[in-house]
């Protein structure tokens, strides 16, 4: 997944946050050791695979973290390779997340998204998410995450 992250982040996020912050975030939050650490604290990861000319191909991945006490589930990561965007894979992953919520009796899906990531914000809004708050967080290395918090109520 770290290799997918490297490809996807460099395709999508450099124009939003710059190469230096992309490199920092890949190292701190998307590296194999960072992912292993997240798995040890309850995160769940799912690899999205498509078939192309009868060959399986890694198309993206999803990272979630459930909080049963608060009756909500966080989408930590939903990343899709550029060539697989617009194929319905994002809808499939979001439906998967909503099903996971229902199975666990959780009522809310939430996530953070960079406030300048207009295309992604718009996609989540079309899916029923609302911006409910903002958060600025120092993530080290001289970088700040400047995000919206978005939520979706699950029936």
Q: What are the pLDDT digits (tens) for 95-125?
A: 999 999 999 999 999 999 999 999 999 999 9
For 21, the domain range is 2-153
CATH number at residue 110: 3.40.630.30
Contact of 135 with 127, CB cutoff 8 Å: no
Structure confidence at residue 18 (pLDDT): 94
pTM of the model: 0.91
3-class state of residue 126 by DSSP = helix
**Whole-number Å distance between alpha carbons of 141 and 50:** 36
User: How does pLDDT run across 48-68, given as a tens digit for each residue?
Assistant: 998 877 889 999 999 999 999
Give the chain's domain count. Answer: 1
Strands in the chain per DSSP E? 44-52, 55-67, 72-80, 108-114, 130-140, 143-153
Structure confidence at residue 53 (pLDDT): 76
Give residue for tokens 């009868």. 54
**How many C-beta neighbours within 10 Å does residue 131 have?**
14
């Amino acid at each position: 997944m770290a290799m997918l992250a490297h490809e996807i982040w460099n395709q999508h996020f450099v124009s939003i946050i710059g190469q230096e912050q992309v490199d920092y975030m890949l190292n701190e939050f998307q590296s194999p050791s960072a992912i292993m650490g997240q798995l040890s604290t309850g995160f769940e990861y799912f690899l999205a695979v498509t078939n192309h000319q009868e060959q399986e191909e890694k198309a993206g991945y999803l990272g979630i973290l459930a909080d049963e006490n608060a009756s909500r589930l966080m989408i930590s990561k939903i990343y899709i390779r550029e060539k697989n965007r617009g194929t319905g894979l994002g809808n499939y992953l979001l439906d998967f997340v909503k099903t996971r919520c229902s199975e666990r009796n959780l009522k809310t899906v939430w996530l953070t998204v960079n406030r300048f990531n207009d295309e992604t914000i718009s996609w989540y809004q079309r899916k029923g998410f609302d911006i409910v708050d903002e958060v600025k967080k120092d993530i080290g290395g001289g970088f700040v995450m400047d995000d919206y918090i978005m939520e979706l109520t699950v029936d």
